[in-house]
A and B are shown apart, each in its own frame.
Chain A
Amino acid sequence: MSMSISMQVKATPERTVKSHLNTPMSSKSVPMLELRGIRKTFGNLEILKGIDLDVMKGQLVFLIGPSGSGKSTLLRCCNRLEEPTSGSVLIDGEDILAAGVNVNKVRTKLGMVFQSFNLYPHLDALGNVTLALRRVSGKTREQANDIGHEMLRRVGLADRAGHYPSQLSGGQQQRVAIARALALEPKVVLFDEPTSALDPELVNSVLSTMRELREAGMTMMVVSHEMRFAREAADKVVFMADGAIVEQGSSDEVFGAPKHQRTREFLAQIER
C-alpha cells in the first residue's frame, strides 16, 4: 500500500524536503527568509522599529522577548497577515511585498502554526489538512487525501484522520495544525507560541514533532517561551524588546553569555 502511495504521490515528505535543497534558486548564501528594515505602526503606536533578520535554509530561529516586544507581529509580517508599514520581506530571494505580487500564492510558501491551533471545527483532521490542497493547489480529492494521510502519519496521527478537533487533545490538535501547515510543502514554517496554550504534559508531543521537522531540514522561525527547547534545538536565538532586536546569536551565546543588560534581565525572569 505504501509503495503505491509513493509512486502515485509526486512528493513524499522526505523527498519534498530534499527537493528544496536541490532547487537552483536556493544556494547556501541566499537566506531562505530575509527581513530588511521592517517597521510596523498601528495608528500612533510603533510596534516594530526597523527589524533586520536573516534565516538561512534549514535553520531554526528562535524569537524570545517580553510580551509586547513585537515578536508575533514580526512573525505575521513574514506571511503578510500583517502588512509592514515599510521594509522588505524576501522568501528565497523573492520580494513578497512588491507590487503585483499574488499574496495568496506567496502564502503557500510559508506555513503557520498558531497558539490557539485554529483548526476548522466543522472539518475532521483529514479535512483540515486537505482543504487548501484541494482549493489552492487544485489537487483532486484522492490526491489530496493521500497527501493528507501522509502528513498526519508524519506527525503521528495517522489513526486520527476521521476525528474532529473537538475529539482531539490540545497536543493532537496542534500536531494536526502542523500537518496542515506542512501540506502545501512550504519553504518556511512559522510557529507563533505553538505550545503556550497546552497543558504541560502535552507540550512534549508537539516539541518532538518540531524536532523531527527540524531534523528533516525544514527552515523554521519560532516565537516561544520554551527555553529548554531553544537551548537544544535553536540554530539562532533572537532577543527582541520594544520593537527592536536587542541581540542575536547562537543559543550558547545568548543564553550563556548575553551581552546586553536587557537580555540578562529578561533571562533572569524566565529562568526557573
Chain B
Amino acid sequence: MNTIVDNFLNPEILVKYGPSIAIGMLETVRLSVLVLATGFFFGLVMASIRAFRNRYVNFFIVVFADIFRALPPLVLIVVMYFGLPMLGVRLSGFAVAWITLGCVMTAFTEEVLWAGMKSIPKGQWDAARSTGLTFTESLAFVILPQAVRIVVPPLTSRVVATVKNTALASTVAVPEMLSRAGEALAEGANTTPLTMAAVGYLVLLLPLVIFTRHLEKRYAWSVH
C-alpha cells in the first residue's frame, strides 16, 4: 500500500510539480476551447452549405468529412508537424494541433449536424417557406435551432474526445498538461505526476459530462 501511495500519490511530488501541471491544465483548456469553437463554427458553416445541395461543393464536403473522421488524430498531427516544414510552412506545435484537431472537430460536427438537419420533418421547411421566409432564413431560424438541439448528445461525446485528444499535442512540443506531467515524471522519477494529470482531465471532463446531461434533459421535447 505504501509503495502505491509513494509512487502515485506522493505528497512531495504533488507540491513540487503541482503548479507546473496546473499551468499545463490551463494550456489544455486554451487549446480545447480554441479547437471546439473553431471546429463547431466551421462544422455549422459546412453543414449549412451542404443544405444548398450543390453537387460539386457537397462532394468536397463529404470527402473532407470522411478523411478527417477516419484518420487517427495523432497521425494527422505528426504528419502535419514534420511534413509542413518540407513545404516551406513552419507552424508551431500549438498551431498544428489547433488546425488538425479543429479539422477533425469540423468534420464530426458537420456530419452530426447534417444528420440532425435531415431528421427534421420536411413540413418544417414547408411551413417556414409558406410564410415567405427565404431558404437561408428558414435554415437559420427554423431548421438549425432544432437540429442543434437534437445533436447535443453526439456533439457532447465529441467535445469530450476533443479535450482528451489535446493530450496528443504533447508529441509536438505543446506545453499542455500531459507533456508537463511527462517532464515531471522524468525529472522526479515518480509516477505521481501522471496521477495528477489524470485527475486534471477528470476535473475538466466530469463537469462537462454532467452539464450536457442537463442540456439533454432540457431540450427533450419531441420533434416528431
Contacts and interface: CB of A to CB of B under 8 A. Distances in A.
B134 A104 contact: yes
Contacts of A219: none
A10 interface: no
A108 B127 contact: no
A217 B133 CA distance: 26
B123 A81 contact: no
Contact of A104 (B133, B145, B221): B133
Given A121-B221, A121-B223, A164-B221, A104 B132 contact: yes
Interface string A117-147: 0111110000000011001100000000000
A43 to B, nearest CB: 18
Interface in A30-48: none
Contacts of A121: 146, 221-223
A110 B130 CA distance: 8
A116 interface: yes
B26 to A, nearest CB: 36
A184 B221 contact: no
A133 to B, nearest CB: 9
Given A131-B141, A135-B141, A166-B222, A116 B121 contact: yes
A118 B129 contact: no
Interface in A97-123: 104-105, 107-108, 110-112, 114, 116, 118-122
B54 interface: no
B130 A79 contact: yes
Interface in A74-101: 79, 81
A180 interface: yes
Given A107-B132, A121-B146, A164-B221, A135 B126 contact: no
A118 B132 contact: no
Interface residues of A, number: 27
A181 interface: yes
How many chain B residues sit at the interface, stated as a range, is 20 to 34
Contacts of A136: 131-133, 137
B131 A181 contact: yes
Interface in B102-153: 121, 123-124, 126-134, 137, 141-142, 145-146, 149
A36 B221 CA distance: 44
B183 to A, nearest CB: 48
Contact of B123 (A114, A132, A135): A114
A105 B126 contact: no
A118 B127 contact: yes
Given A81-B130, A136-B132, A166-B221, A122 B121 contact: no
Given A118-B124, A121-B146, A184-B131, 19 more contacts: A104-B129, A104-B132, A105-B132, A107-B130, A111-B131, A112-B130, A116-B123, A119-B127, A120-B124, A120-B127, A121-B221, A122-B146, A122-B149, A131-B128, A135-B133, A135-B137, A136-B131, A136-B132, A177-B127
Interface of A: 79, 81, 104-105, 107-108, 110-112, 114, 116, 118-122, 131-132, 135-136, 164, 166, 177, 180-181, 183-184
6 contacts: A121-B146, A122-B146, A131-B128, A135-B141, A166-B221, A166-B222
